[in-house]
Structure 1
């Protein structure tokens, strides 16, 4: 099993975590006994700051809301975004073909990193649905659209590289309907596919969880219900999220409302729901002992090098690695 951390080349990570110093990443990996990183490319790749040999996986870019654009539902898009200018700002174009090309270019960029795997988010929601969780699309709608999209771009997936689909708590891949997870693998035209199990995202699908032990037990319950499909989980994004009280309160407060959220409002909500906190108890070990992934990614929201170091020590201690 390779033990990794998530890292992007966005300015915030370059400045806050690496302090614009090419020696920082190797130092972080040595300090915590890690094998490399799962990399998200947000701009030009500085190979000195992010050496190729340390990149084991690449997290592809993603659009949280995309199904209406893919379907060409102009009315829904205008209701969500307010204007064609805002639609263009989100997708880079008003034309689906241009957006598909952007996906292909991101895959070509990933190929330059020669990763073991790439990660693809399987989810969709309109921002107007976030607070209430009353969704216009079903899990199956999103799964079937994802199959269509991936089959359009599969030609650019790096050969010899696994394509791992990641679960979220929005409509799409939630792992709570095993037949949809199986359908995704069966109908995508790429041979080496599987899943990246995000433990915090899965915990976000159960608003009644109150402890890490309950969260881990729920993750393992869902995993066992996947049956044979669960054997295709090759990686784990390990973190915990116990945000049910907040989510229920937002659902109560916004019941009956329907308005699109600004980028800032949406991000504030997501960060309150999807907490990306380290496990602090042995419950983390239960998950790894059962799933036995090829890739363990400690996935946090790191605000500084000190913050990253503290979260890494906390979770690795919980796992019994320290």
Structure 2
């Protein structure tokens, strides 16, 4: 399951990693996919960590292609949140430090988003860039970073995750293949995020239809690409109606006058309504897993309490294990 070192997650288990381990065992899970960044890691029993989720800097594409973005007048917290550093080299250094953190706890993979979105874009979907442009800048950033590492390969396998923003959204097979061909290293694979793909499709409002839509997209890919989908973030998102409604409404009134923290809260509340992270309830969800056959399946939910997390895990695991009638 997904997990972090933030208090919102640790407090569910009273900051006791033994309780985390017992909870995993109860649900038949092998470990956690832990969110980490470039900062030094605290002490914790790393054996429970199977993989990590690397940080996502939403505006990295813009800063990478136009370094003047680093010098815009903005709050320092906003600058780092968007760009991941003070300049290109700082961005690369922070990324490499995150990779080294992942290697230090023997993570088997590190999830990385190949996507670009400025905070106000999430309301309008007027992105002003193409998938290919984002993939090209991301490939250049990755190639530049990895070239500085021992053996010119990342120390943990990079798992590229699809989002519904410009970049790797999996809707265009040719664009995906273009990204793959742009990489200058071999230690990579994909993480298929089922909910994110539903968000990208945009018309998913019913679980059975959403499952069919995901399978339809996957069937467009050759076997070698499906074989590279070694990870899976497994959850359901049926926000098609909401997405269409909000895209017509545009940016909320007064949004641009708010301080960064308040703008960020508004953005995250909106994103949570798009990216619902609900458990699958229909046993046909197993068709997605059977089609991809991932090495690692992460039950990825957002929860506010341990009973809620317990319920969502039980619901989805039961759907996966239930025999079809």
* TM-score normalised over the length of structure 1: 0.89
Corresponding position: 1:115 with 2:107: yes
Task: Determine the structure 1 residue equivalent to 2:228.
Answer: 232
Q: How big is the shift at 1:254?
A: 1.7
Task: Determine the structure 1 residue equivalent to 2:199.
Answer: 204
Deviates more, 1:112-121 or 1:311-320: 112-121
| 1:293-308 matched pairs, under 5 angstroms | 293-308=294-309
CA 92–148 in structure 1, closer or farther in 2 if over 3 Å, else same? closer
Task: Determine the structure 2 residue equivalent to 1:12.
Answer: 8
| 1:92-111 matched pairs, under 5 angstroms | 93-111=85-103
Equivalent residue of 2:277, what SS? coil
Q: Distance in 1 between matches of 2:75 and 2:66?
A: 13
Task: Determine the structure 2 residue equivalent to 1:309.
Answer: 310
Q: How big is the shift at 1:83?
A: 2.7
| 1:256-295 matched pairs, under 5 angstroms | 260=256, 262-295=263-296
Corresponding position: 1:128 with 2:120: yes
Q: Is the 8 A contact 2:280 2:315 kept in 1?
A: yes
Task: Determine the structure 1 residue equivalent to 2:240.
Answer: 244
Q: Distance in 2 between matches of 1:162 and 1:89?
A: 25
Q: 2:46 aligns with which of 41, 52, 65?
A: 52
CA 252–153 in structure 1, closer or farther in 2 if over 3 Å, else same? same
CA 87–97 in structure 1, closer or farther in 2 if over 3 Å, else same? farther
Corresponding position: 1:24 with 2:26: no
Corresponding position: 1:172 with 2:167: yes
Q: Is the 8 A contact 1:118 1:163 kept in 2?
A: yes
* TM-score normalised over the length of structure 2: 0.88
Determine which structure has greater relative contact order: mean sequence separation of CA pairs < 8 Å that are 6+ residues apart, divided by chain length.
Answer: 1
Structure 1 unaligned regions, length at least 5: none
Equivalenced residue count is 311
CA 246–148 in structure 1, closer or farther in 2 if over 3 Å, else same? same
Equivalent residue of 2:17, what SS? coil
Q: Is the 8 A contact 1:122 1:146 kept in 2?
A: yes
Q: Distance in 2 between matches of 1:76 and 1:20?
A: 37
Task: Determine the structure 1 residue equivalent to 2:250.
Answer: 254
Task: Determine the structure 2 residue equivalent to 1:144.
Answer: 136
Q: Is the 8 A contact 2:70 2:86 kept in 1?
A: no
Q: 2:74 aligns with which of 83, 97, 100?
A: 83
CA 305–86 in structure 1, closer or farther in 2 if over 3 Å, else same? closer
CA 258–123 in structure 1, closer or farther in 2 if over 3 Å, else same? farther
Q: Distance in 1 between matches of 2:281 and 2:166?
A: 29
Q: Distance in 1 between matches of 2:70 and 2:89?
A: 19
Q: Distance in 1 between matches of 2:282 and 2:199?
A: 19
Q: Distance in 2 between matches of 1:258 and 1:270?
A: 18
Q: Distance in 2 between matches of 1:97 and 1:14?
A: 33
Q: Distance in 1 between matches of 2:179 and 2:86?
A: 27
Structure 2 unaligned regions, length at least 5: none
Equivalent residue of 1:235, what SS? strand
Q: Is the 8 A contact 2:199 2:274 kept in 1?
A: yes
CA 89–196 in structure 1, closer or farther in 2 if over 3 Å, else same? closer
Equivalent residue of 1:94, what SS? coil
